A and B are shown apart, each in its own frame.
Chain A
Amino acid sequence: MRADTTWHLRAATDRRPLVLLASLAALVLLALLALRLGYRPVDWADLVGALTAFDPTDPEQIVIREIRLPRLVGALLAGAALGIAGALIQGMTRNPLADPGLLGINAGAAAGVIGATFLLGMAAPGQYVWMAFGGGALGAAAVFALGGGTQASPARLLLAGAALTAFFLAMIRGLVLMSRQSLETYRFWVLGGFDDVTLGTLAALWPFFVAGVLVALAAATLIDALALGEDTARGLGVNVGGAKLLCGLAIVLLSSSTVALAGPIAFVGLIVPHMARAVMRQDILWLAPCAGIFGAGLMVLADLAGRSALFGGTMQAGVMSALIGGPILIWLVRRTGGRRL
């Protein structure tokens, strides 16, 4: 390694904690702003009051506590989970175009949720989240089996994901089109958004997000070894099969919990790791937390934009990210030429 390269890397290493802290601070500011902004503007005094000394008789504080806070926490959790899942799946497959949404994992989890609610009559998020895991795990297993595992080219994995998504989507549509009422629920849920997130949903689902992040951290310590190739990883003493399974588990936990919370949201997991890589480089232990913060910020921004007057207040965060994400996918394809990371 040449001397100037070494220096460059060390300089980058020194800056990374600072970048992480700065983006965390920016995220907190953004979150406070998201609580204030909305159809009914709230001043800072009410905001602080609602967060520290809640007064149930004050309508402004009720708006914050009952509507905006669950929505914000939902967006933060979903964005962070998708960002981390995206960083893991891209690191694991060395595929710059990987994303839980594009690879059919979200669609599998969505099929699980729809099946649980319409066929088995499960209404509580704490119940149907298990079906989401089942569907998501099925999707992940299928996409890696069909897409040629972690050794496949990005194009093949992506096309396998598209096939799976189409298949699950056909099943979902078949289920929901059977009744008018289920279509009404579904056509907003499937766009992905935080309109229906309540404190109850969050209370039921937060342990799954925490579990997902913990498994992801454990998996992240092994990904850099995996990225060197399976033989090298084995030579380094890594249990390759176990490492892949752990990564897969983390990805399924994170993306399926997000689907159970907010519906299938694609592209956040695709875009965010690329943004994070621009400041954090390849090291996954820095990349994953940074992707989590960036993902949370992007999701809050998408939700803010979606409920702003710009789109008549009806635009779902998931549609927003798909509309922006498609062109970014095309840009990535042009830039990377579909090659591996």
Chain B
Amino acid sequence: MQTLRFGPVSLAVHRRPLIAGVGLLALVALAAVAALLIGSYPITPGGIWQALTGRADAIPAMIVLDHRLPRILTAIGAGAALGLAGAMVQTMLRNPLAAPDIIGFTAGANAGALLAVLLTGGMILAGALAGGALAAMAVVALAWRGGLDTYRLILVGLGASLSLGAAADLLLSYTDENTAADMARWLTGTLHARGPAEVALVWGGLAMLAPIALWLGFPLARMTFSNDTVVGLGLPLAPLRLAVTALAVALVALAVSVAGPLPFVAFVSGPIARRLTGSGGPALPAAALTGATVTLGADLAARSIPMVQLPAGVFTAMVGAPVLVWLLWVQARKGRL
């Protein structure tokens, strides 16, 4: 363990999380480079570099700058937002199964965004925020019975997710054929045809929310103890829970409004990050990087199948479902389920 000091501020730096963080960062960079190179229009690494530095011809420049780069940046931003939100909620509820995409936050944001698009033709972020916040409030209120039992919350959230999913399917059936084709992809979570607007939105949002999330990570690390211990440590439990939930909803809504409800990204990031860093705490930076890696990897897999535009969400679900099964198995072995 090393200690970093900046005047009055000091920070404990452990070696393993540092190595994990650098490794994940390298993985994201590697995936980004691969995503820049791979595509139906062949461009050499030199051509990519020329396009990035503004010295390429019109067509390669357009493909790199208007298509591949925004797509990559959106994937990283949305994945990081989902990873942060997932790790925060999982740590707060002390259960890796209690991720935003399982307990209904994501489904709420998704239904809200769809409704906003159908009613106004825009306002995706506002709709996602409102939908996510309403779903979170409803799930917590319905699961509340003189206290918050995590498994009751998970089951209630599962019910809410199913209902909201049906509502989204219903909204889809009201649209015409062309809109439906786009929306069906979006409902699965896609990064197809993302532009500068999405990049600005997700990175602008992250620039505002990520520092608060990282700062909340310090009290969150203490929330891994029991409620009594948390209160004994002098932490304001209720305001902290409210702040974490609100921030998680905002992050999920941000990701949903640029990429749709990429299933299981929020869910898998926290547990994977914890394993990599070997920490018992929230491991928020590593979770954000894991989310970015998973999302970018899923999009790469989706793009590498020729001729069809498969949504990245298909692949995140294929990664996420086995992880859910593994976590169930671990928890059952510990006798918690």
Contact surface of A with B, Cβ cutoff 8 Å: 97, 102, 146-148, 152-156, 158-160, 162-164, 166-167, 169-171, 173-174, 177-180, 183-184, 187-188, 190-191, 266-267, 312, 314-316, 319, 322-323, 325-327, 329-330, 333-334, 337-338
Contacts and interface: CB of A to CB of B under 8 A. Distances in A.
B312 to A, nearest CB: 11
Interface in B148-204: 149, 151-152, 154-156, 158-160, 162-167, 169-170, 172-174, 177, 180-181, 184-185, 188
A213 to B, nearest CB: 27
Nearest to A333: B155
Contacts of B308: 177-179
Contacts of A190: 169
Interface string B296-334: 000000000000111101110110111011001101100
Interface string B140-153: 00110100010110
B126 to A, nearest CB: 24
Question: 8 tightest A-B contacts by CB?
Answer: A326-B163, A322-B166, A170-B317, A167-B321, A329-B159, A163-B324, A330-B159, A156-B337
Given A155-B151, A159-B154, A330 B169 contact: no
Given A160-B325, A163-B321, A314-B174, 6 more contacts: A146-B329, A159-B154, A177-B314, A183-B184, A191-B170, A312-B174
B325 A146 contact: yes
B177 A159 contact: no
B112 interface: no
B260 to A, nearest CB: 12
A267 B165 CA distance: 13
Contacts of A147: 328
5 contacts: A97-B155, A159-B158, A169-B317, A180-B181, A323-B170
B325 A163 contact: yes
A330 B160 contact: yes
B181 A158 contact: no
A155 B150 CA distance: 11
A173 B172 CA distance: 14
B152 A191 contact: no
A273 B149 CA distance: 26
A269 to B, nearest CB: 13
Contact of B263 (A148, A160, A166): A166
A170 B314 contact: yes
A306 to B, nearest CB: 10
Among A146, A152, A166, A190, the most chain B Cβ lie within 10 Å of the Cβ of A166
A314 to B, nearest CB: 6
Contacts of A179: 308
A160 B159 contact: no
A8 to B, nearest CB: 30
B142 to A, nearest CB: 5
Contacts of A173: 184, 188, 311, 313-314
Given A166-B320, A334-B145, A187 B180 contact: yes
